[in-house]
Amino acid sequence: MKDTAQANADKFRDPTTTAGGETRARVALKDPKTLWFNTGTLCNIECVNCYIESSPTNDALVYITRADVEEYLDQIETRGWPVTEIAFTGGEPFMNPDMPGMAEAALMRGYEVLILTNAMRPMMRKKMQAGLLRLNAAYPGKLTLRISVDHYDPLVHDAERGTGALDKTLRGMCWLRDHGIRMAVAGRSVMAQSDVESRAGYAAFFDRHGFDIDAQDPAMTVLFPEMDDSVEVPEITTACWDILGVSPDALMCASSRMVVKRKGAERPAVLACTLLPYAPEFELGATLGEAEGDVALNHPHCAKFCVLGGGSCSA
């Protein structure tokens, strides 16, 4: 009997046809609202289930620079993309020394800026604190930091991120709270709990610490479905849209793209998805113009996280 990994690999081979011979679903870039930048895969911690395998030593994706960001902001304007949000993920974005400058480049052009962070020591360095305070004062209401809080129970959170991790994150969150910098939270679905129970737990956590975060707003408390490679998932065909009652326009790849810089590469590349930085079939080219084509849902994450799980990295 095939193991799960092999079963998934056998399914997700052909970008046009499923293993069952049906037409594979594709998603068109209909309304690009968010351009993501991966700031680099280096991180101050190493989580058990990190989908991008970030760590203190993983530099497979190297640091993006302010100049790189500005080049793609120019392309947004040239292509006429209706982007409203520039978002930064990692790794840990505040490991990148250009993080304040990259955020400033986007804010100066009127974009909302979202930064994903664990709010730990890299964010708490004096240079980064000074940059956040300056940007928040200069562009009030335009900057949001989405903090990774896998679970409001320290035992559950720390099992993923290391002993004492939630306490360290809380120190960063309290600093952001005290300086009026808007926060959101990214949590993870726990299979034993319903969405209602999870949000009630986060609401109590926010109240306990005086955090102005709405636990019921899915844009402010984002609960991501699990991306478990040990689970066999179905392929998504064109017939699935009607069967599942899901619109392709609701998926991330209909409204966003991500820029990365690979180690040793001459220039950055544009990917279809924030979740698949290492899958070559999801690399669309070096420019936004090359990245305007549609995307075949040819990976287990497409099915489990996005279509069936309803996950989205953007608001």
**4-28 pLDDT per residue, tens:** 656 666 788 889 999 999 999 999 9
**Residues near 124 by Cβ (< 8 Å), separated by ≥ 6?**
171, 172, 175
Q: For strands 256-260 and 221-224, give the pairing.
A: unpaired
Q: What is the mean pLDDT of the chain?
A: 92
Q: Which fold has domain 4-308?
A: TIM Barrel (3.20.20)
> What pLDDT does 304 receive?
80
Q: Give CA–CA dist 307/248, Å, rounded.
A: 8
Neighbour count for residue 202 (Cβ, 10 Å): 23
Sequence spans of domains, the chain: 4-308
Which string of DSSP letters, residue by residue, matches the chain? ---HHHHHHHHTT-SSB-TTSPBBPEE------EEEEE--SB-SS--TT-TT--BSS--SBPPP-HHHHHHHHHHHHHHT----EEEEESS-GGGSTTHHHHHHHHHHTT-EEEEEE--SHHHHSHHHHHHHHHHHHHSTTSEEEEEE-S-SSHHHHHHHH-TTHHHHHHHHHHHHHHTT-EEEEEEE--TTS-HHHHHHHHHHHHHHHT----TT-TTTEEEEPP--TTS--PPPBTTHHHHHT--GGGSGGGTEEEEE-BTT-SS-EEES-TT-TT-GGGEEESSTTGGGS-EE--SHHIIIIIIIT---S--
Tell me the mean pLDDT in the region 94-111. 98
Q: Give CA–CA dist 131/105, Å, rounded.
A: 13
Could you tell me the pLDDT band of residue 3, with boundaries at 50, 70 and 90? low
Tens digit of pLDDT for each residue in 74-93?
999 999 999 999 999 999 99
Higher pLDDT, 280 or 149: 149
Higher pLDDT, 94 or 194: 94
Residue 1 has pLDDT above 90, yes or no: no
**Mean pLDDT highest for which of 49-53, 102-106, 191-195, 251-255?**
102-106
Higher pLDDT, 87 or 301: 87
